[in-house]
Every structure is written in C-alpha cells, then in structure tokens.
Structure 1
Amino acid sequence: MKKKLLAMLLTGAMVLSLAACGGTQTEPAAESDTTATETEAETEVAEAPEATEEQAGGYELALVTDLGTIDDKSFNQGAWEGLAQYAEEFGKTYKYYQPQEATTDSYVETIGLAIEGGAKVVVCPGFLFETPVYIVQEQYPDVSFILLDGEPHNEDYSDYTTAANTMAILYQEDQPGYLAGYASVKDGMTKLGFMGGMAVPAVVRFGYGFVQGADAAATEMGVNVDVMYHYTGAFAATPEAQAMAASWYQNGTEVIFGCGGAVGNSVMAAAEEAGAKVIGVDVDQSFESDTVITSAMKKLSVSVYDGIRDYYDGSFPGGSTSIFSAENDGIGLPMETSKFTNFTQDDYDAILAGLVDGSITINNDVSDTTTADLTLSSSKVTFVE
C-alpha cells in the first residue's frame, strides 16, 4: 500500500466517507439499538444462536459496522454474511454493533461494547477502522480482530503496526476492475465510463484495472474504446454525480462503472432514466437496479469466513496483511446474475485463469490517479476534473 499517498488522500476522510467503495451513511443508532431490531437481517441475530447469552458466555463473534447497516448491499452486509454463515454452520453465537458516530472514539467504544458482550473475534469492515483497530489491538490482546480493506495505523500515519491478534485484509481491486472492463467490451460496448468516489488507492485500482481490461478486449477484437473518467471526491449520492452520469449517457456512453459507495446510486438513477447500463462495485448489486449488468466484487463474505475459520483452526494469520485476489477466490464477477449478451462463462473462466496464473498482468501503481501513466493500445481515456 502506498502509505504516503494514502495519508494525503485520507486525512479528512473520517467524516466525509464511510468506506472505500463501500457503505451508505445513515443516522447514528441510539446506544440501546446496537443490534437493530427492525431490519430483515437482524432476524438472523435473534434466531440463529440457540444458546442464551449467559449460557454461551456472550456473543462470541461480533461485527462492528460503520454508520451503515448490515443490509447496506456493500461492506457491512458482505462482512455480516460471512460472519453469519460461519456462526450458523458451527453453532457460534453472534451479534452486530453499530457506532454512534463516524469517529475513532466512537468506533473504539463500540468495539469495547462488543468485547464486553463476549466477543472473541471482532470484524471491522472498511478503512475507517484502521486507527480504531490500531488502538484496540493493544488494549485487548486476547481478542482477535479482522480488519477489512485496511492496515492498522496511528492517527498521523507515522506508524503502521499489525499486532499478532489482528488480521489485516486488502483486496487486489485492479483484478475485478479488469474483469468488468474486459467483459463490457467483449459484450459489445465501446463507450464506457468510470465514476469513482474519493481517489483513494482502492478506488484508483478499480479504475486502473477497468481501463486496462477494456483495452485488452478492444485490442483482441480490433476495435477502439472511449472511456470517460471522473472522481466525485466523496462516497455520497449527489445531484451533481447523477447529472454528470446523465450527460455521459446522453453523449453515447453505454455503461458506467459506479465505483464509490452511494455514488453508484446516482449512476443507477441516471441509467434508469436513460435506459442505460451500470457496473456495480464491492458486492453483487444486481438487486439494487435492473440497470446493473454485473459487479466488480470483493468477496467480503469469503474473506471474513476464511479469517474466522482460521481463528478456530489455530492458524489465524495475525501480524501481517492478507491479500485477497483471484488466486484465493477473493474477487470476481457474479456471473450467475450478470446480464451479458456475448460475454460467456467460458470467457470469464479463461480471463480469471490468466489472473490466477499470472499470464495477465495489470499496472496497479496508483501514484497517478488520472490513468495518464497507463500504456493503452486501443483505448482513449478522457479525464474529467
């Protein structure tokens, strides 16, 4: 991870955003509502563990959400599904906790509540937890932490330390981005768009992969591809983002990769009006809108499930960063729900195999966020400030 770049990009992000490419902001829940009681997903919290809290010594597995919810179709939900799957398969009690505010103090306090509630493993989804986990991994050495999409560091980024009780997880976002770009062009589209949120490394890698995948397919097919490219500067749905997406569609763009949490909702709204197409991000977002033809996924549930499994197997990979990629089934496209016309499962399997064996390489150096440093053969990128 480019730590200096990350420091510059994320200094103000704690209040402005929820997670790199993930999460939707909601009003903070009251303290008594740390496990929501009115969403569909929390029924699993109440019904799945048969044992009472007293019998089981508390809730053994815990998820601390950002300010989003466990049905946010993004980071919280993906992490929750992996945790719940393991708990149900192996009879572990589990619960989620929602912070009051998007601050380090609130996250640390909420993690403490989960531990007081009996948690042996605490899952923290998103880079906003990097500093809170840095703090609590020392405070609670007997508890194991799984940090998604980040590495623990102090407030000023001067020290990155992943303790032996912490599993830090990063994803090779350029790979699902590549798959999405390649599939789009193979499916017949030559006018593409990438609308990212903040230009943090994870978002930039998604975009770099997307452009290079599109270029590879275009070169194979002997066609030329145009890509509109923009960062909104935040992870919120805004009228401005929707208006820009609408203008791209009006000018011939066929599909836009909405890569920035709720930015994707703005793109979907524009696509619905234009009868156009969208590529989702992080999780399978086909259920969000009929316009979503596929999603560049980080398999959050797989990584959480694997981390918890390793904890109980005695092989917890604490003290280091685990990279989830094509090689360990950490990324992909949801082919079962994708709406391609020409791009087939065989096409997908062939490209995925190339990513696994290294025969396909991707430039994922994010030192220049504009794609100007990419060598492209059949594609033109128009960067919009």
Structure 2
Amino acid sequence: MKKKAGILLSLTLAASTLLGACGKSEETSGGKSEKKESDFKVGMVTDTGGVDDKSFNQSAWEGIKRFGEGNGLKDGKGFKYLQSNVEADYVPNLTKFAESKYDITYAIGYMMMKSTETIADKFPKNNFAIVDTVVEKPNVASIVFNEQDGSFLVGVAAAMTSKTGKIGFIGGTDSPLIRKFEAGFVQGAKAINPNIEINSKFAGDFNKSELGTQLASAMYGQGADIIYHAAGGTGKGVFTEAKNRKKKGENVWVIGVDRDQHDEGLPEDVTLTSMIKRVDIAVEKMSKDVMDGNFPGGKVVKYGFKEEGLDYGKKNLSKDIQAKMEEYKKQILDGTLKVTETLPKQ
C-alpha cells in the first residue's frame, strides 16, 4: 500500500511540475519573459507622401515586409502600415500602434518629429523609431543617413554627363534634411566642373506632382539638362516633364532619390542614376534587433557608405563615370574627402 502511495505521489508531483511549466510564459536564462516570434508586431506610419511614393516610404515598407515575411509574421497583423493623408493623422496613427502594444513602431520622415515626441512621452514603455531626424527620448531610436555623401556622387555623375553646363535641384521642402541633399549634389558637381550652373528650387511639399512638373519645366526651359530631385511624390512630376520632353527629342535626364527610380523614367528611359538610401535595410535590421531584445532606445543609428546604407543606380552610367564616382567614394570612406552638410552662405 505504501509502495502504491509513493508511486501516486511521484506521478502527482511530475504532473504538477509539467503543468506549472506549461502555465508559464517562455523565459530567457535571465528569467525575463519573451514573446514568441509569431506574436511579434511591427508597425509603420507613413508621412503624407504615402506608402507607394516610389521613394523612402516605399523603401521602408519593403524592408518591413521582408522582415515580416522572413520571420513568419502575417501581413496586416504581424506587420502593418497606416497611411497619413495629412499631418493631423500622425499622432492618431502612432497612437493606434502604441495602444495595440506593437513591439516597434516606425515614424517615417522628419516631419513626424513632434508627433513622435508626444507619443513617446505618452507611452514610455513602447518602442518607437524615427527615420531622418533625431528624437531625444529613451524609448525612441533615431535612424539617420549621410545623404550629403550619396548626393556628392550623383553630382559627379551629373556634371560629367551634362552637355549644357546647367543642372538643377528640386527639394520637397526647404529644411536642414533636404539641404543636405542639395549641399552634397552641388559639391560633387563642382568637383568636376567648378563653373557649372546649378539652379535650386524648393517645392514646399512632398506630395504635389503637378508642382514638380511646373518647377522642372522652368528649369529645363532655362537650359538645365539634368535635374536631381529630393522631393518624394512631388518628384513624380519631374519625371513626367522629363519624359514628355524626351518624347519631343530633347536630351534631358532626372536623377532619382531614396530608391533606384530607374523604372520611374520608363519607357523613355530618362533616369540617369538615383541616390539610393537604404531605408529598407535600416528598418529591417532594427526590427531584428528589437526581436532579439536589443532595441537601441535613445540612440542615433547612422548609415553611410561604410554601413552599406547608401548606393547609386548604375544602369545608365558609363564605366568612366562609375569609376570616377568610386574614386570619390573611396576618398569619403578613408576620410580624405569630407562632404559638408550645408553650403556656404551666399
């Protein structure tokens, strides 16, 4: 009888131990609870340019999709974006992800800086990341790029390609970020041709294609044969104008931005090159870091050539132009060339 009681007690203890283990959440060696990968959630809030802007919103979403699909997350649940049609949408969209306890929420664009600060204070236990500016909050990681360096190289390409000695730059807004694109472009072009004429204009909006068309029309009309845009959706209008002119026999070009915008210039093939900013790589890597428990809250994560965060489109560049661009890229990497973020005041 005692033997049977002993066996029964042992079975009871074993069962309770097993049940206790099943009732607990997954634990790390340090005793902290850890979510299953399938429960991980990544959110992204676009700026007003939209997720299909053929620029950095689209690049960011491509990186998040790649991360989600590679880790077995479901589109619309494990990874999701919310579209901001106007600036007033920023705070409500960020709030939706925060209230739903997303593991990381991305604010895409410097225009969301104030909104991100507000939401970070309201939800101090949530993780946020912002692209293209710095938010100094312990629960916000800031992703920035050396846009001036990539823009220097496409400036080199523009000056080596131009037949008129006149080129243009169209920015979405007149802001410190967009001035970095302009500064690098001007420095790169003048490194090749100190006498080149560069006309810069700022649209004041990242989502007005028709305004991009108007500005490009004026620049091409004044003799510029290449325009570099850093204008998001407004830049679509630059491509429209270039393609219309190419159909009429004019030899004009566009330099794209953020993504490789070669296809945006088809079928007339007006994209000379693009200054590619690998937002997709940055958000994919950070999402993986967060999943691994290594969220860089309060830190600035910078991407340049060294981190493979910058590149340029090569399909319409000659070998000679690419060789010269690589020569300058090497100088930037080894520190012998320092591209400034701003231009001297006139």
Q: TM-score, normalised by structure 2?
A: 0.78
**Aligned-residue offset at 1:107:** 2.3
Deviations 1:25-61, CA, capped at 9 Å, x for gaps: xxxxxxxxxxxxxxxxxxxxxxxxxxxxxx9776611
Q: Which residue of 1 aligns with 2:179?
A: 204
Which residue of the partner structure matches residue 206 of structure 2? 235
* Pair 250,235 (structure 1): closer, same or farther in 2 beyond 3 Å: same
Contact 2:50 2:85 in 1 (8 A): no
Tell me which of 280, 289, 309 is aligned to 2:256: 280
Contact 1:258–1:279 under 8 Å retained in 2: yes
Question: How far does the alpha carbon of each residue in 1:305-361 deviate from its partner, in whole angstroms, 9 at most, with x for none?
Answer: 1211222333322112222222212222123xx312354544333322222221111
Q: What is residue 102 of structure 1 aligned with on the other side?
A: 86
Q: Is the 8 A contact 2:276 2:312 kept in 1?
A: yes
Aligned to 1:379: none
Number of aligned residue pairs? 299
Q: Does 1:253 align with 2:224?
A: yes
* 1:176 equivalenced with 2:150 (yes/no): yes
Q: Once the two structures are superposed, what CA deviation does each residue of 1:54-108 show, in whole Å capped at 9, x if it has no partner? A: x97766111122344432212221111111112222223433232565345x323
Q: What is the 5 A alignment of 1:60-75?
A: 60-75=41-56
Relative to structure 1, is the Cα distance of residues 82 and 257 closer, same or farther in structure 2, using a 3 angstrom cutoff? same
SS class of match (1:327): coil
Match of 1:323 in 2: 302
The CA deviation at 1:170 is 1.8
Q: Quick check: which one's helix share is greater? A: 2
User: In structure 1, what is the equivalent of residue 312 of structure 2?
Assistant: 333
Match of 1:348 among 325, 329, 332: 325
Matched, 1:301 2:301: no
Post-superposition shift, 1:198?
A: 1.5
Note if 1:166 corresponds to 2:150.
Answer: no
The ranges of structure 1 where at least 4 consecutive aligned residues each deviate by more than 6 angstroms after the TM superposition are none
Q: Aligned equivalents of 1:234 and 1:354: distance in 2? A: 34
Contact 1:187/1:341 (<8 A) preserved? no
1:244–1:108 distance in 2 versus 1, CA, 3 Å: closer
CA distance in 1: counterparts of 2:90 and 2:282, whole angstroms: 22
Distance 2:293 2:100 in 1: 23
Q: Distance in 1 between matches of 2:324 and 2:189?
A: 14
In the alignment, structure 2 segments of 5+ residues that lack a partner are: 1-35, 247-251
Structure 2: distance between partners of 1:316 and 1:212? 36
| Aligned-residue offset at 1:127 | 1.4
**TM-score with structure 1 length normalisation?**
0.70
Query: Structure 2: which amino acid aligns with 1:360?
Result: L
Cα pair distance change 1:207/1:367, threshold 3 Å: same
Query: Which entry has the higher C-alpha Rg, 1 or 2?
Result: 2
Query: What does 1:185-196 align with in structure 2 at a 5 Å threshold?
Result: 185-187=159-161, 189=163, 190-196=165-171
- Tell me the percent identity: 27
Offset of residue 240 of structure 1? 5.3
Unaligned runs of 5+ in 1: 1-54, 153-160, 373-385
